[in-house]
A and B are shown apart, each in its own frame.
Chain A
Amino acid sequence: MKPLELTATPDRMRRYDGHVDVCIVGCGAGGSVLAKELAEAGWSVVVLEAGEWLSTDDDLRQDELEMLGKFDWDDRRWFAGEEQLELGHRRDGRGVGGGTIHYGAVALRLWPEDFERRTRDGVGADWPISYRELAPYYERVERELMLCGPETMPWGPKQTAYPQPPHQTTARDHVVAAGMAKLGIEWVPTPLGILTGAHEGRSPCMNYGYCQWGCKSRAKSSMHVSYVPKAVLAGAEIRTGARAVQIEADGAGHVTGVVYVEDGTTRRQTADVVVLSAFCIENPRLLLHSGLANSSGTVGKFLLAHIADSHFGRFADPIHMWSTAPGTLLSQHHYGTQQGRGFVGGWSWMTSCLFPAEFCETLARVEDGMWGRRFVDYLEQYPNFTVLGTEGECLPYETNRVELSDDADEFGVPRPRVTFDFHENEKAMREEIHRLGREILEAGGAEEVLVSDGNDHTMGGCRMGDDPSSSVVDRNLRAHDHPNLYLCDASVFVTPGGAQPSQTIMSLALRLADHLTHGRATERVGVAAGRAA
């Protein structure tokens, strides 16, 4: 069987000319899943994607420099605050597949408590939906993407076994596992969206290691090899090089379509329903620029990120951390709020893989003075390092936000200004993470441990909620202010948990598709009628 990516090619794709049922802005984890589901349900679907359609065979190379900028959203953005968010490279994507082209494919569910942070801990906020409402969709993603992972997870919500067995652990993991064992910390092979057996013509993982520069074996479940081909086969059009610049609405508050620029020409795609899946900076930017969905004044606010610090452990023997997919060892032993720690929330541990250039850049951040002969001495010991990473929870703060700057881009749209800080809760958590990270690696035999601060995974900015005065979209991801405008990506997150967001994004997209095609079909008719009137 041929991989679907080779069957559902752009030249065989259906094209729409004129009004469609739904226009989705952005072809990442949210937009791709939704496009596939709606197209299979018979909707006419156009996805506007600002980037290009990369071919696994022709465009992906196992090289850090060759791939830089090919699928990164690297337009200029202005940043303020103490914690400059890491965006662009390996953070937010551009191109068919979005951020899933470069993601590490770590596939984790949020925990029930993540949906009830305010109720349980008296801080932050609650999601308008519970874990229980999302659980069936988590399971669907696990089956549809043939996720691999352990038979049971020792922590978190009960879940069925993963469809494929886990990846092998390597020396990079073994030293960390040894340290964790000494400290009584449980670990498992990480659940990943990277095949360990062939599926739908896609190869099992070949351990090239370059997952985060685009998978050359198609084992990684990036959207452009999984959901997107299925969307295309079902009749969706993925319109690439189409940069959305404005969302339009009529006087009655119904959204009428999307203005976009393609090949220097401004065009308009009208639709019954518009879905924004352009992620946590561009969604607020588009809404603020269009003057929509902001009666609450919360568009752009409550931006979230993970504490993603790297602990470099240097060992006497070679580790060769580059030899397999990143993130193959997971521990959620410290996940969630735990008594006596003095802060709310928790984190996941994960081993990681940094290729030479990124290793240099991340190591240089450890402390002032990391340059010169001392720095090069460390670089020469690169094979002996392992990296233990974290995904730590950050509480929602109104001051962490996206606004419009005075500086416009080439399309005349104001560039975003992003302000972000970690507060006392995150600083206390970070301190504990560093202490334990050192302890684990030293217990595993590290001769030296270095720690570099970082952040990862932008979320929030258009959060969901039942109260229209404090949220942008409702429990069904529909804008409180506009009956036919939806948001579908991590921008709707209320809290981030301490886990990678991709599986939650895909699960929310499946839930939204169910809402649009089954549960509220009559509403859609009503929307169309209202627009016509």
Chain B
Amino acid sequence: MPDDRYPTAEEFWRRLERREVELDLREALRARTQREQQGTPRLGPVRGEVAKAVAARLLPGDVPADGLAAFLDWSYDRQLGRGDEADGKLPTPELIPAGLDVLDEEARTRHARGFAELDGAAQDELLARAEKGDLQGGRGFDSTIWFKRTRGKLTLGYGTDPRGMVQMGYPGPSYKPGHIWLDRGEIKARTKRRRGYLTL
């Protein structure tokens, strides 16, 4: 963050401890900062490289591209709260790997190199075409839907990774005795059924 009022990564963890955030949640958050170690075993090495390159172009932030690619590998066929699928189109668990293949094939057709080997401008051009629906795949493939679903998974990985939270200036989950915005006096007033005194 450009503003020093927001915590650094070290301060982020110290604050979680101070706020007594549950240990299991703190551990889960820690684990997310090491996702890149998991690689992309389910997507495989070729798709994994494409996924990493896509992540680097879509979300060039503080969460490393290989961490986002690992999240995509873990999440691409998980519902994670959503089950809506476009009628007549490939459902997300099949769509995301298929789209990585389409992107790579298009790169090889047009540039004689895989997507991951292209320079940033060429990668962006292909991604913009995907977003517009211009990339063709097999039956039921829609590149706009692929783009949105893939970006959706990547932003989920980014926004739930403490490195992304810190970059966004978000201080992490609140916990007893309340959100960081409220001090103990305010909480005490509320538990005694008095109106809060603090105007934020």
Q: Are B155 and A360 in contact (CB under 8 A)?
A: yes
Q: Are A73 and B174 in contact (CB under 8 A)?
A: no
> Among A25-33, A291-299, A367-375, which stretch is in contact with chain B?
A367-375
A90: nearest chain-B partner, CB-CB: B81
Distance to closest chain A CB from B4 (angstroms): 12
Distance to closest chain A CB from B68 (angstroms): 12
**Residues from chain A with Cβ under 8 Å of B6 in the complex:** 383
Q: Are B168 and A382 in contact (CB under 8 A)?
A: yes
Q: Are A79 and B198 in contact (CB under 8 A)?
A: no
Q: Are B178 and A64 in contact (CB under 8 A)?
A: no
Find A79's partner among B5, B86, B158 (CB 8 Å cutoff): B86
A86: nearest chain-B partner, CB-CB: B84
Interface size on A, residues (CB 8 A): 67
**Residues from chain A with Cβ under 8 Å of B131 in the complex:** 368-369, 371
Distance to closest chain A CB from B200 (angstroms): 4
Distance to closest chain B CB from A298 (angstroms): 21
Q: Are A64 and B59 in contact (CB under 8 A)?
A: no
Interface size on B, residues (CB 8 A): 66
Interface status of B195 (Cβ within 8 A of chain A): yes
CA distance A136 to B177 in the complex (A): 38
Interface status of B124 (Cβ within 8 A of chain A): yes
Interface status of A52 (Cβ within 8 A of chain B): no
CA distance A76 to B94 in the complex (A): 13
> Among A178-186, A204-212, A265-273, A386-394, which stretch is in contact with chain B?
A204-212
Interface status of A452 (Cβ within 8 A of chain B): no
Find A361's partner among B91, B152, B170 (CB 8 Å cutoff): B152
Q: Are A207 and B87 in contact (CB under 8 A)?
A: no
Interface status of B114 (Cβ within 8 A of chain A): no
Q: Are A376 and B61 in contact (CB under 8 A)?
A: yes
Q: Are A84 and B84 in contact (CB under 8 A)?
A: yes
Find B193's partner among A86, A197, A405 (CB 8 Å cutoff): A197
Q: Are B159 and A74 in contact (CB under 8 A)?
A: no
Distance to closest chain A CB from B131 (angstroms): 6
**Residues from chain B with Cβ under 8 Å of A324 in the complex:** 179, 181, 200
**Residues from chain B with Cβ under 8 Å of A411 in the complex:** none
Residues of B6-65 at the interface with A, using a CB-CB cut-off of 8 Å, are 6, 21-22, 24-25, 28-29, 32, 57-61
**Residues from chain B with Cβ under 8 Å of A80 in the complex:** 86-88
Find A382's partner among B87, B128, B132, B170 (CB 8 Å cutoff): B170
Q: Are A356 and B84 in contact (CB under 8 A)?
A: no
CA distance A59 to B180 in the complex (A): 22
As a 0/1 sequence over residues 147 to 166 of chain B, the CB contacts with chain A under 8 angstroms (1 = contact) are 00001100110111000110
Q: Which residues of B contact A (CB under 8 A)?
A: 1-3, 5-6, 21-22, 24-25, 28-29, 32, 57-61, 78-88, 91, 124, 127-128, 131-132, 151-152, 155-156, 158-160, 164-165, 167-170, 173-182, 187, 190-191, 193, 195-196, 198-200
Supply 9 further A-B pairs (C-beta < 8 A) apart from A356-B160, A357-B158. Answer: A68-B156, A77-B84, A78-B85, A86-B84, A206-B179, A207-B174, A369-B128, A380-B167, A383-B1
18 contacts between A and B (CB under 8 A): A64-B156, A69-B78, A69-B80, A78-B86, A79-B84, A86-B84, A88-B79, A168-B200, A170-B200, A196-B190, A207-B182, A209-B179, A318-B5, A323-B180, A323-B181, A364-B152, A382-B170, A383-B1
In order of increasing CB-CB distance, the 9 nearest A-B pairs are A357-B159, A89-B81, A360-B155, A62-B173, A356-B159, A72-B81, A65-B160, A74-B79, A197-B193
